Structure formats: C-alpha cells, structure tokens
Structure 1
Amino acid sequence: MLNAARAAAALLTLTIGIAGPAMAQYSMAPIADSGESATRRVRPHTPILSAQDVSILGQSFDLANRGQWDAARGLASSASDPIVRRLTDWRYCASDSSGADFQTITQFIAANPDWPAMNQLRTRAETVMPHASMSPDQIIAWFGSRTPASGDGFIKLGDAHIRNGDRSKGEALIRRGWIDADPTEGGSTILFGQYASLISNAEHEARLSRLL
C-alpha cells in the first residue's frame, strides 16, 4: 500500500523542488545536546522522488488545475514511481469538478484508507452515489456503521432505510441531512421530490439557527 506518510513526503518534495530542487536531497536533524543548546546539521538522504518524477507530478497538477484530468492522469502514469499517479488520482477523486464517478472514488478510499482529506473523498462519493440504481441493502452496506459525511449522504441513506422498511430511522436521517448539513442540488431534489412532508417549520428553523 502506498501510505499517507509517503504521499505527504512526495508532496513536500514537490513543494521544495519548485522552490529549489537541490533542497529535496537534504533534511535537518538534531545532534546530541551539548549543554545549554543543541546544534543542528544538514544530513543528506535519499529523495522521495526522482527529479524527473517531481517534474511529472508538478506538470500533472498543473493540468489538473486547468481541468484537464485525462491528460493529468495519463502523464502521471508515465512516472517511474506509482505514488505520482496515486497522488493525481487522489486529487481527481477529491475534486468536485473532476467528474470522478462513485466506483472510482470508492475504490480509491478502499485502497488508501489512511490518506488525508478522507472526509472530503467520502463527501464526493456520497454526492455522486447513483442511489437510484443501487438497492437499499447496497447503500446501507456501503455506509456500514459510519455516519454520513454530507447532506446527500444522510438523505440517500435515509431513503435506503425507508425503502428497506425502517421508516423511523430513515426519516430521522433525512431530517438530519437538512438540519445539520448542506445537501447539493441532487440531494435536495431527492429530499423535496419524495420527502418534502418530513420538513416542517421546525426543521427549517433548526437549519436556519445553524446557518446564522
């Protein structure tokens, strides 16, 4: 597994590489305390990424910033170190404008559970979850014991429980998705298209209190 610590180090290498490539080959390490103060020395170490892979990562991120995701991911695949493609895929899955689908994001989460911005990745997965083509059991199993990360997640999980016969639990989740979270247009369409009667003045007032 390409773990989060190595991914973070690769990102740091990219940042340092932009400022000054030579710095990517060194780190600061403390040596023994010599009384009142400790001295420090520069200690060489093996770079996380080669200079070529740092360049590829930077170019891939530039393409991603311009919304050219296919080109970004394709270029990242040419790097010798797979962490470059994994980092680009991480950005792809976390972006709300990349077009990453539910399966792609879910697979990334499963393969990289310790990576940063996991809540953002789950939010994206919940937002693009094709709940209409999934069975209630599939949706409930996907969430497991985890609390939804988004308004869309609360609404889709609530809808699944209602379709599965647990109306009380489902209604509570849907109300929470409106009061405590901010559903997207897609989530709001489900909410007000199918469950508008669940949202009374009390729910609107509770939501307004949170927003103010």
Structure 2
Amino acid sequence: MGKYQDDVQALLRLVGGKENIQAVSHCMTRMRFVLADPAKAEVKQIERLASVKGTFTQAGQFQVIIGNDVANFYNEFTAFAGIEGVSKDAVKAAAKTNQSLIQRIMGTLGEIFAPLIPALICGGLILGFRNVIGEINFFNGGTQSLADVSTFWNGMYSFLWLIGEAVFHMLPVGIVWSITKKMGTTQILGIILGLTLVSPQLLNGFSVATAEEIPV
C-alpha cells in the first residue's frame, strides 16, 4: 500500500478519470495535468485532499500543488492510473489544445522573447551605470561627472557604450535567432538574416529623417 494511496485514488476520480487525462507530468512541487475536459475537474473537492496544497490552471494546464514529495505522489498516481508520464515539454505541447488563439499567440511570443531577457537586463544595467559615471555631475560644484575628472572612468564610459550599444543595436539578430529556434529551422540562417537587418549598407531611418539628401 502506497503512502498516498487514498489521495491518489481520489485525485484520479476527481479529475474526471483516466479517460479525461491527455497528459500528466510534474515539476518541483506540482502535478501538471492536461485534461480533455477541464470542466470535469472537481476543483473544490481536490483542494480538500490531505496531500493537496492548492490548485490553479495556467496555459491550458490544470496544476495540483503537492509539495516537495511530489515525485513520490506522481509515481504512485501514474502506477495506479496506468498512465505513462510524459516530459514537461510534452505537457506544454498537449496543453495548447486547451488554449485560446490569444493564449497561443502570447505563449509563442513569450517563448521567443524569454531567451533575450538576460541580454536586455545586462544591457540596461550597463547603460544605467554608464549614465551614472558620465551624465550625473557629482564634482566641482555639480559641473563635472566622474568621467570628466578621471581618465580611467572616461575610458570606461566610452567602453561601456560599446557593450550597451551592441546589445540593443544587434537586438534584431537575437530576435530572428530566437524565432528560428522556436520554429525548429536552421538557426545560423536566422542569425544571418538578423545581421542583414542591421547591416550598415541599409539606410538608417534616423539618418534619413535628418538628411538633406538621401543617397541612392
């Protein structure tokens, strides 16, 4: 007899039975279900189970919070239900059938831009620090910045612009790379396309706006 036998049996019944489960997996603390008919899940009854800490639905997945012992609970559940567990990626793929068009679009955009967030954060912090040392006048009665009074920090001020500009100027490269990765196509071709978009051979919109004559 398993440690969670009673709760496992009850949970299987309350989610609508084996036939209502399209896929099931788990993460660090939660059981993740993709249900054929989410309306069949008796949420209030599930939350009354001793092993359950709570429930919520997100991105087409019905998630049941178990806690740190979720792996043991999951093993007992799949063994009792006769269901083969799948990976979290497989659950995400199956969950798309329960998502609206807007949810699928937002999910796709999130998966495209999420890998770019660390670069954007680092670029923003670098430019912010650069502004502190070069744009805020702390010295000589508020007339000079740290970069103005120090040769070292003046060089650092110029160097940080190189990094910060690279992050945001080359952002199209990262976006197109992430799109090709999401689509499962050749990523190097995405990088080449992104580099083409930022090529200096293309007209710069800001330069065109202030130019007296547009080159041909």
Normalised TM-score (structure 1) = 0.30
Q: Which has the higher helix share?
A: 1
Q: Which has the larger radius of gyration?
A: 2
- Is the strand fraction higher in 1 or 2? 2
Larger relative contact order (CA 8 Å, sep ≥ 6) = 2
